[in-house]
Amino acid sequence: MNSRTLLRKEIRQRRNALSTSEQTNAAQALTAKLSKHSKVQQAKRIAIYLSNDGELSTTNVIEWCWQQQKEVYLPVIHPFSPGNLLFLQYNENTKLVQNNYGILEPKLDVTTVCPLEQLDVIFTPLVAFDRTGARLGMGGGFYDRSLVNWQLSKLYPIGLAHNCQRVDKVPVQHWDIPLPEIITPSKNYHFT
């Protein structure tokens, strides 16, 4: 196994080892932080993901967004463009289906798609990150492809992670897109 695969395995085990109370406390702390974040407060359209595999829970953040009358969008694997994502509006009545990875996503409905450049904030999942903003995802490259030109639009990406997902160094590849900011329950990391 290569170093990226080993790191993914180690950090996924680390976050899956968190207790229910640790997960709950982390989710509450994250929501408190994000509700005070200026870019999140100003955003009208926010893309986020449904937590999976020990990821920091986004349920409270989604509910807070709805309370603030923000439009929430979830990633959907593009049916005709392999390796790419679409972002579909999500509300309490959205029908969810499992994708090929066993992750829940909105049932495809082209009338609820929001073009990437019309989103204000996109919260990205990650497996590990380091002090430079390098992000290691699950290995599919979906978010790297989505964020390749994020600086050319109003879109602002923010990675979400447990504290235990920070590592000394992420082994990067040329296609990896670093993030300008990663937020954990205890700290905001800003990268230039």
143 is in an annotated binding site: yes
1 is in an annotated binding site: no
189 is in an annotated binding site: no
133 is in an annotated binding site: no
136 is in an annotated binding site: yes
141 is in an annotated binding site: yes
Element (H, E) at 140: none
135 is in an annotated binding site: yes
55 is in an annotated binding site: yes
96 is in an annotated binding site: no
137 is in an annotated binding site: yes
139 is in an annotated binding site: yes
Measured on CA atoms in the order 23, 142, 49, 68, is the torsion positive or negative?
positive
Bin 126: left if φ > 0, else alpha if -120 < ψ < 50, else beta: beta
Tokens of 124: 């990205």
Q: Which residues are annotated as a binding site for substrate?
A: 50, 55
Enumerate the known binding-site residues. 50, 55, 135-143
Binding site residue list for ATP: 135-143
